[in-house]
Amino acid sequence: MAKNLTKRSEDYSKWYNELVVKADLAENSGVRGSMVIKPYGFAIWEKMQAELDRMFKATGHVNAYFPLFIPKSFFSKEASHVEGFAKECAVVTHYRLKNAEDGSGVVVDEKAKLEEELIVRPTSETIIWDTYRNWIQSYRDLPILVNQWANVVRWEMRTRLFLRTAEFLWQEGHTAHATREEAEAETHQMLDVYADFAQNFMAIPVIKGAKTENERFAGALETLCIEALMQDGKALQAGTSHFLGQNFAKAFDVKFATKEGQEEYVWASSWGVSTRLMGALVMTHSDDNGLVLPPKLAPFQVVIVPIYRGEEELEKISQKAKEIKQSLEKAGITVKYDDRDTHKPGWKFNEYELKGVPVRIAIGPKDLEKGTVEVARRDTLEKQFVPSDETLAQNIKKLLNDIQVNLFEKARQFRDENTCKVDSWDEFKEVLEGKGGFILAHWDGTNETENKIKEETKATIRCIPFDAKEEEGKCVYTGKPSSRRVLFAKAY
C-alpha cells in the first residue's frame, strides 16, 4: 500500500498525527495552535452535532447564543473559576489598527485601547450567569435549559489536532433550577445523554463516574465525566457534566422568588463536549490502513467504484452503479459513486480505505455478467461477492448495522482486556509502564496521595466509577483504608 502511514506499533502518536492529515480531517493553520477542520472532518463533526442537538432537544433544551468576548472583571467574580480559566487566554486589548508611519503595514493604534480588556471565552459560565440575572425573577422563570454551539479559546502551549487546540468547537449547556435536586438530576441526565451518544453513535464504550476534587471543573461542586480508553492504553475524557451548586448564582447575584415567596439563589449545571471527540473517534477505531468510521458517523456509508476499460464498458457499469445507488439511497443509506477517470480503481480503493468509508462496492464487467458486486467492509477488510439484485439494499443495510455493532464490541473487548485490578504499588507501576490501560485500585481519598501518584507515574484518577462496588481495601500508595476502587490511567 502506498499510504505511507506510520504503523501504530511503531509510533502511535505519529500514526495519529499523520492519519488526521492524510484522511483529510484537519490540518494545522497559519495561526499557532489553531486548526483548520477540512470538509471531510467537518462532515463527521456535523453528524455528531446533529445527533447531539436532537438529543438535547428531546430532553427539553433550546439553543441560544452569548457573546464571544467576556469582560475581564467577570472572571474575578467566581474565585476558583478565575484560577482555572482566566490565566491562559486570548486577551483583546485594542479595537483599531492604523497604517504604520514608515509604510511597513498596519500597527496597533495605541489610542484605541480598551478601558477594560476583553477575554475570548474559554467557557461561558460568567457571561451567561450575568445574563441570567435579568431572565430570572420567580420560580415561574425556571428551569432554564439552554445550550450553545460555539467556538472557545484556551491558550495551550502544546497543541495536537482535535485533542488540544487553542481554538476548538464545542457545545456548552447552562441550566438554571429552583432546587438542588433538580440541578443534580440534570447533571446526571446530561452525562447519560453523552454516554448514550458515545456508545450508540460513536461506538465508543465509556465509563461513567465522578471526578475527584483535584480534577473538578473550576467552580463546580461536582464534575461527572465519561472516560474512554484509546488503543495506546491512554484514557481520554470524552465529556463532562458539572453540578455548579449556587456558586455562579452567588457570584452574579441571581436570585428567584420561590412559590412560598422566599428569595433564594438559583442552582446550576453546565455540560459540554467538543471537537476533541473527533480525536477519540480516530484513536478508538482506526488501524494501520487508515480511518475506520462507524456507519452512523460516516459522511457517506458506501462508495461504489467501477472497474472498467474504455468508455463503453464504463457506460454499462455506470448504468448498473446508478441503479444500485438509487436503491441504496431509497433504503436510507448514503452513497458516493466515484466514476472519476482521473484516478485508477486501485488508487480509489486505497483512498476510501484511508478515509474509513464503511462499505466499498466494486463493479466490473464480470460482475455485470454474473449479476454480482464485490462488497468489502472496512472494519474487517473482508470481501465477498453478493447478488446485485433487489436483495442488495437490505444486505448492505444489515452489513452497516453489523459494522456499527462490531466496532463497539471490538472497542469494548479491548477496553475490558486493558482494564485490570491492581493491589500493590509495584504492580501499579508495572502495569502502567507495560501495557497501560485502565487500572482499578484503592485510594485513600486524599488530594495529597493523588498528587504524589501523578508526580511519580503521570497517572491520574480518571473518575470514581458509578458502578464501583463497596469493598474493603487498602490504598495502593499509602496502605490507608479505602472503601472502593477508583479508575487510574495516563490520559490525553
Q: Of the two residues 73 and 262, which places its CB atom closer to a copy of itself in the complex?
A: 73
CA dihedral (430, 450, 153, 168) positive or negative: positive
Contact between 155 and a copy of itself per CB under 8 A: yes
The alpha carbon of 52 is separated from its chain's Cα centroid by a whole number of angstroms, namely 11
Burial of 256 (0-12, 13-18, 19+ CB in 10 A): buried
Q: Applying CB under 8 A, which of residues 14, 54, 98, 344 lies at the interface with a copy of itself?
A: 98
Cα–Cα separations (whole angstroms), residue 459 to 233, 440, 447, 491? 12, 12, 14, 7
Report if residue 401 touches a copy of itself, rule: CB under 8 A: no
SS3 228: strand
> Is residue 95 involved in binding a copy of itself (CB under 8 A)?
yes
Which residue stretch of 3-11, 70-78, 263-271, 353-361 sits at the interface with a copy of itself (rule: CB under 8 A)?
70-78
Contact string 305-344 vs a copy of itself (x = CB under 8 A):
-------------------------------------x--
Select from 113-121, 186-194, 202-210, 430-438 the region that touches a copy of itself (CB under 8 A): 113-121
CB of 50 to a copy of itself, least distance (A): 10
Residue 398 engages a copy of itself in binding (rule: CB under 8 A):
no
**Contact string 40-69 vs a copy of itself (x = CB under 8 A):** --xx-xx---------------xxxxxxxx
Query: Quick one: 150 or 281, whose CB is closer to a copy of itself?
Result: 150
Q: Provide the terminal-to-terminal Cα distance of the chain, rounded to the nearest Å.
A: 30
24: CB partners within 8 A, 6+ apart: 38, 39, 40, 41, 355
Grid cell 483548520 in the structure block, residue:
36
Cis ω for the linkage preceding 481 (within 30 of 0): no
Work out whether 31 is an interface residue with a copy of itself (CB under 8 A): yes
Output 154 or 208, the one with its CB closest to a copy of itself: 154
Q: Are 446 and 463 in contact (CB under 8 A)?
A: no
Q: Report the residue from 16, 56, 75, 243 that binds a copy of itself according to the rule CB under 8 A.
A: 75
How many other CB atoms are there within 10 angstroms of residue 217's CB atom?
A: 25
Q: How is residue 44 written as a grid cell?
A: 463527521
The C-alpha cell at 459 is 497517572
Q: Rg for the chain (alpha carbons), in Å?
A: 26
Give the residues lining the site for a copy of itself (CB under 8 A). Answer: 27, 29-31, 34-39, 42-43, 45-46, 62-76, 82, 86-98, 105-106, 108, 117-120, 127, 130-131, 134, 140, 146, 150-151, 153, 155, 167, 169, 342
